[in-house]
Each structure stands twice: as structure tokens, then as C-alpha cells.
A = this chain, B = another copy of it.
């Protein structure tokens, strides 16, 4: 198998509300159920992501176990997790050193969450949006080539629903359908690296709407473009899917002033 396989697993396709553990807080019934390690990780991770702990800043395990009131084991676990994301390195005799941002695993959903929660959130949104612009057209082409029949049908259904909801002016429902549409394309692309971005795309779309960056009534061209994407994928027309998706993203480009 030298190319990605058709995505024809029997998994349910219709769940727009699929568990998006990929970019959601670890929903906990009781607040204390999350484990010491998790809280400490969040606290330090956010501090690094936001720049409060600058690159080069040195921490020591002892310091950390004192400040967070935890045992050495928990402190080490936390550092191990941060090390895995390349947020820090730990060296003997020197301690735990915050890495420069260029080394971070910026695709780690956890880190993305921290960055979105920080003051630098606009930068993170800009990067993610540019990433969408890059990936979604090619993902649409992939879906046209490798998507399953169910997925194609569902995309057409979602495109129709978008038109209906757009006309009705129900922004909240429109957003939900829009997210479902874009996520489904990423997941149908047959490329797991594209699929892995679906949580981040949802995040961007949600924020864009919540910030009022969306026109109250979606523009007609945008709705048409969505339909064209769905139709092209339905027809297995990769080139048209790709260029129609570029049309969809055109207004995003404009908003970011990333345009010719």
C-alpha cells in the first residue's frame, strides 16, 4: 500500500458532534478528578506558551515540587510531558530549560489550546487560518479521490443544509453545519495528517463566528462555493474540488489580507 487508502471504514459519518477530545478540555465531572499531574502541566504549559517563562528560563525539579506542593514523581511526570512537546529540555546539573519557540511541537493540540488561551492567541489564529488555506483545498481533492460513498452523500447534505440555514439566518446552527462540513472533508481526505487538523479547524471557525467576523448572512458566493465543493467531491472531480475549496477560502484570505 503505497498511497493512502480509501476511507471506507464503517465508522459513523453523521456525527458532527463526534467526541472532539482532540481540542477540548478534559471534561471532568468533579473538578478534582483530573489528577495533580494534569493541573501542574496546564499551569506550566500555559506559562511557557504565553511567554511568561521565556526561552532559556531555568526551572529545577525541587523548585517545582515546592511551588506546586507535589512529589518529585509528579514533577518529573510533568516535565516529561513538556519535554515530549519540546517545550523544555532537561539536562543534568543545569535543570529544566525552556526551549525556544522554534523547537516547539506546535501541532500538539494541547499546546495549541494553551496558545489560544494566552495573550498571543491572535498569532495562533493567524497561523491556523493560513494552515487551513493551505490544507483544505488539497484535502478536498483527496476527498474527491478517496472519500467513501457515505461521506460524499453527507457532504452534499451538509452543503444543502448550509444553504437552508444561511437563508434562514440562524447563525449558530449555520456554524455547527459549517464546522461539520469542513471537518468531514478533512476526515474524508484519506490523509491522516489532514484529518488530525479537524479539531483546530473547528476552533478557528467557532472563534471567527463568535468574534462577529462572519457576515450575519453568509454571502451567496460562499454558499455556492460550498455546494460546488460538495458536488465536485461527489463527482470524484479532484481538480474542481480543489479549486472550489480555494473559492470557499477566498474570503478568509481577504479577511487576513493574504491576497494577491
Contact = CB atoms under 8 A, between A and B. Distances in A.
Interface of A: 1-4, 21-22, 37, 73, 76-77, 80-81, 83-85, 101-110, 122-123, 126-128, 130-131, 133-135, 137-139, 141-142, 145, 191-196, 238-239, 256-258, 260
Q: Is the interface of A mostly helix, strand, loop or mixed?
A: helix
Contacts of A135: 131, 134-135
Contacts of A83: 81
Contacts of A1: 122-123
A40 to B, nearest CB: 12
Contacts of A191: 126-127, 130-131
**Number of copies of this chain that the complex holds:** 2
Contact of A105 (B109, B142, B239, B256): B109
A192 B134 CA distance: 14
Nearest to A110: B84
A128 B193 contact: yes
A85 B191 CA distance: 18
Given A131-B193, A145-B258, 16 more contacts: A1-B123, A2-B123, A4-B123, A21-B103, A76-B77, A80-B80, A80-B84, A104-B196, A105-B105, A105-B196, A107-B193, A107-B196, A126-B191, A127-B191, A127-B192, A130-B194
Contacts of A194: 130-131, 134
A223 B83 CA distance: 40
B130 A138 contact: yes
